[in-house]
Amino acid sequence: MIGKGLVPLKLDLKGRTCLSAGKRHSTRRNGRGEVMMTPDPPIKEFIGAFLRDRGLPSKQISFHTLAGDGSTRIFRRIILSQSSPTFIAMENAPASEHLRRENLAYLMIGKHLFQKGLPLPAIHRFDLEKGWFIMEDMGDRSLQDEVSPHKDRISLYQKVLEILFRLQIEGSQGFNTEWCYQTERYDRSVMRHNETDYFRDAFLSNYLGMKKDWPELEGPFDHLAETSSGLDNHHFLHRDFQSRNIMIYDGKMGILDWQGGRLGPLPYDLASLLIDPYTDLSVHEREQIYQIYLLLLKDYQPTWLDPFQRYYPYLAIQRNLQILGAFSYLTKVQGKTYFEAYIPPAVRSLNRLLDELRDSKLSPLKDLLNDLPY
């Protein structure tokens, strides 16, 4: 999950690194320039035991370290031979209670959604005490990669929406909030601390170097949180449902980065998809995809349609503020400067959302954006 202290996991996000703090690994690059990070002997034995149990060769194997982000997770592709399947090994040492709970959430929420028949990678083996997982490999091509040259982006997104709607409805059925490692629900505390305040501190103050105190924004931020809380929040919420967490492989789609899941309102994940700076959809494309989702909603439960449309703009603004805080934090604090390229489209998206909503109580925020150099 993109966020302050709430970082996403990716099986393969080009251009990003993910090294576990305090650990040393032998690294080199292969002929294609890919990082080859040799795992430590204990996890190599864990992987070897898994392969032997499956009747697969466990000696002549190679490991390709996959690019990550700012988290402590390390992902490696396990390669046996051209004719053998590949697997993904994840290492996330539970060095703190937070990381221990994160691993548990990854396991329990992942198993729950997978058992629903949702397209998540199968978790083949795990060791929670060590923070080790071996999973199905969903390839290295994300929705972001696929839509860039794609001629018919709308039909591709229609397939994504069908998966999203199943995730939201079926994922909430039998969901145990004790699995969540952050909050059980998307609520006002998340909206303020991890989104609006995050935008203020990480983007305005730290990234742009503006003042630290913004009393003029307290009213708009409270109004956003109060209004966004008006919708039922009992559906499954992924909270980082964007193109880099949606994989395209063998003609299928797969979902990653589910460990931050919790209960929440329907519009949030759709907003995450539509205002995704990685794809920067046109206004026309966003509207087309939005209308397709409304049809799914209408067919399932028509009475949800009006509340969804009323609250969607506010939840989209909440998400947009979180995105700007996250990209600023990753750029300025973690030195991941490649995220900086996505800040201008995220600012434009926020401006557009505020223009379309025309809520006078958000005018101080809109006035501030008008003065920014974007």
Same domain, 110 and 66: yes
Same domain, 129 and 159: no
Residue 11 forms part of a structural domain: no
Same domain, 147 and 101: no
pLDDT band at 351 (very low <50, low <70, confident <90, very high): very high
Q: Which helix (H) or strand (E) holds 167?
A: helix 153-170
Among 136, 155, 170, which residue terminates a domain? 136
- Using CA atoms, how far apart are residues 48 and 58, in angstroms rounded to an integer? 5
Same domain, 148 and 163: yes
Chain centroid, CA 361 distance in Å: 30
pLDDT band at 6 (very low <50, low <70, confident <90, very high): very low
Residue 1: the pLDDT is 38
Mean pLDDT of 251-266: 96
Residue 129 forms part of a structural domain: yes
Residue 373: the pLDDT is 85
In this prediction the pTM is 0.88
Residue 329: the pLDDT is 96
pLDDT digits (tens, 9 = 90+) for 261-293: 999 999 999 999 999 999 989 999 999 999 999
pLDDT digits (tens, 9 = 90+) for 33-79: 445 567 899 999 999 999 999 999 888 889 999 876 657 799 999 99
Q: What are the Cα distances from residue 4, in Å, to 149, 197, 370?
A: 32, 10, 25
Which residue, among 163, 173, 150, has the nearest Cα to 292 in the 3D structure? 163
Same domain, 159 and 296: yes
Same domain, 87 and 190: no
Which residue, among 268, 282, 207, has the nearest Cα to 240 in the 3D structure? 268
* Strand, helix or coil for residue 144: helix
pLDDT band at 167 (very low <50, low <70, confident <90, very high): very high
- Using CA atoms, how far apart are residues 168 and 229, in angstroms rounded to an integer? 18
Residue 339: the pLDDT is 94
Same domain, 295 and 335: yes
- Using CA atoms, how far apart are residues 245 and 253, in angstroms rounded to an integer? 10
pLDDT for residue 332 is more than 90: yes
Residue 69: the pLDDT is 65
pLDDT for residue 31 is more than 60: no
Residue 348: the pLDDT is 96
Among 74, 109, 136, which residue terminates a domain? 136
pLDDT band at 5 (very low <50, low <70, confident <90, very high): very low
pLDDT for residue 21 is more than 50: no
Residue 21 forms part of a structural domain: no
pLDDT digits (tens, 9 = 90+) for 188-203: 999 999 999 999 999 9
Residue 30: the pLDDT is 41
pLDDT for residue 148 is more than 90: no
In this structure, are residues 67 and 155 in contact, taking their beta carbons and an 8 Å threshold? no
Residue 12 forms part of a structural domain: no
Residue 5 forms part of a structural domain: no
Residue 83: the pLDDT is 76
Residue 65 forms part of a structural domain: yes
pLDDT for residue 23 is more than 80: no
Among 136, 168, 183, which residue terminates a domain? 136
Residue 249: the pLDDT is 92
- Using CA atoms, how far apart are residues 53 and 65, in angstroms rounded to an integer? 23
Per-state percent for the chain, helix, strand, coil, to nearest 5:
50, 15, 35
Residue 20: the pLDDT is 27
Mean pLDDT of 318-338: 95
- Using CA atoms, how far apart are residues 11 and 142, in angstroms rounded to an integer? 10
pLDDT for residue 311 is more than 90: yes
- Using CA atoms, how far apart are residues 267 and 253, in angstroms rounded to an integer? 21
The sign of the torsion formed by the CA atoms of 41, 47, 53, 55 equals negative
Residue 67: the pLDDT is 77
Pairing between β-strand 62-66 and β-strand 74-79 as defined by DSSP bridges: antiparallel
Same domain, 206 and 335: yes
Mean pLDDT of 171-196: 97
pLDDT for residue 346 is more than 90: yes
Residue 15 forms part of a structural domain: no
Residue 25: the pLDDT is 40
Mean pLDDT of 206-233: 96
- Using CA atoms, how far apart are residues 158 and 174, in angstroms rounded to an integer? 26
pLDDT for residue 141 is more than 70: yes
Structural domain of 179: 143-370
Q: What is the mean pLDDT of the chain?
A: 89
Same domain, 117 and 180: no
Residue 243 forms part of a structural domain: yes
Phi-psi region of 359 (alpha: psi -120 to 50; beta: other; left: phi over 0): beta
CATH of the domain at 197: 3.90.1200.10
CATH of the domain at 41: 3.30.200.20
Same domain, 63 and 104: yes
Phi-psi region of 326 (alpha: psi -120 to 50; beta: other; left: phi over 0): alpha
Same domain, 87 and 115: yes
Percent of the chain surpassing pLDDT 70: 89
Same domain, 187 and 336: yes
Mean pLDDT of 129-136: 98
| Phi, psi dihedral angles at 305 (to 5 degrees) | -65, -50
pLDDT band at 100 (very low <50, low <70, confident <90, very high): very high
**SS3 for 292-348, per residue?**
HHHHHHHHHCHHHHHHHHHHHHHHHHHHHHHHHHHHHHHHHCCCCHHHHHHHHHHHH
Domains: count for the chain: 2
Mean pLDDT of 205-232: 97
Residue in this structure with the two tokens 């396991």, named with its chain if needed = 107
